[in-house]
Amino acid sequence: METKSPGVLLQSIPYLGKKQILKVFTLEDGLVTLMAKSVHSPFCIGEWVYRKKQGDIYTLQEGSLIDPLLELRANYERLSAAGAIAKDLLRSQLPTKKNSDLYALLTTYLKKLPLFADPAILVASFRLKLLLHEGLLSLQEMCCNCGGPAQHLFQGESYCLEHTSALGHSFSPTEWRELLLLSFARQFSLLQNSESAPKEKIERIFEERLH
């Protein structure tokens, strides 16, 4: 069975000389693994024609470029941010689990990375949105226990400082507002001035929730 789908090339792994194993997040089938006879470089958006068969690795019949995302390669910060987003998807997504919303989020974030002086802000935002999408995070303005102002995350739930555990992560009121902004803002212009975004704490939360 042959399938054609747009998709983002997240990773390419050399295999037996000139061949490559490609990890592509597609619109039609989610994360797929393709065996390719020619060289392909991440990160780009392409149209992929592949033949499904038994097993986890499909055969790439043809790949054509839709958007090379060349601006991602203009500096190390952008390329590193794209790599972090790709790594997060590879770790969190089951093979062949279709997810058109996540595909739209991925392509939009990759295209917007060059607009940010600090691309790590978009990485933090993507991680929060990914956790929310996977049901691993319940981020709210109010404590899930008493309805008071939330300032703490424990096991993915939002708590006030009075009802929280000694474990988890506490945030200042400013940091909590940034968390909500990074998670729910629909305009990228609102994220560009997120200078107080607690990026390190978000990374630790992401690691904990995926384990």
Could you read off the pLDDT of 18-68 as tens digits, one per residue?
A: 899 999 999 999 999 999 998 899 999 999 999 988 888 999 999 999 999
**d(C-alpha 26, C-alpha 84), whole Å:** 18
Res 84: pLDDT: 98
Task: Indicate if the pLDDT at residue 121 is higher than 80.
Answer: yes
* Lowest mean pLDDT, pick from 82-86, 167-171, 194-198: 194-198
**CATH class for domain 72-210?**
mainly alpha
Q: Which residues contact 106 (CB under 8 A, 6 or more apart)?
A: 8, 25, 85, 89
Amino acid at 77: E
Q: In what order do the strands lie in the sheet with 169-170?
A: 157-159, 152-154, 169-170
Dihedral sign for Cα atoms in the order 12, 15, 20, 26: negative
Task: Report the pLDDT value the prediction gives residue 192, as an integer from 0 to 100.
Answer: 86
Contact (Cβ atoms closer than 8 angstroms) between residue 107 and residue 113: no
Domain coordinates in residue numbering, the chain: 2-70, 72-210
User: What superfamily would CATH give domain 2-70?
Assistant: Nucleic acid-binding proteins (2.40.50.140)
The pTM score is: 0.94
pLDDT at 195 over 80: no
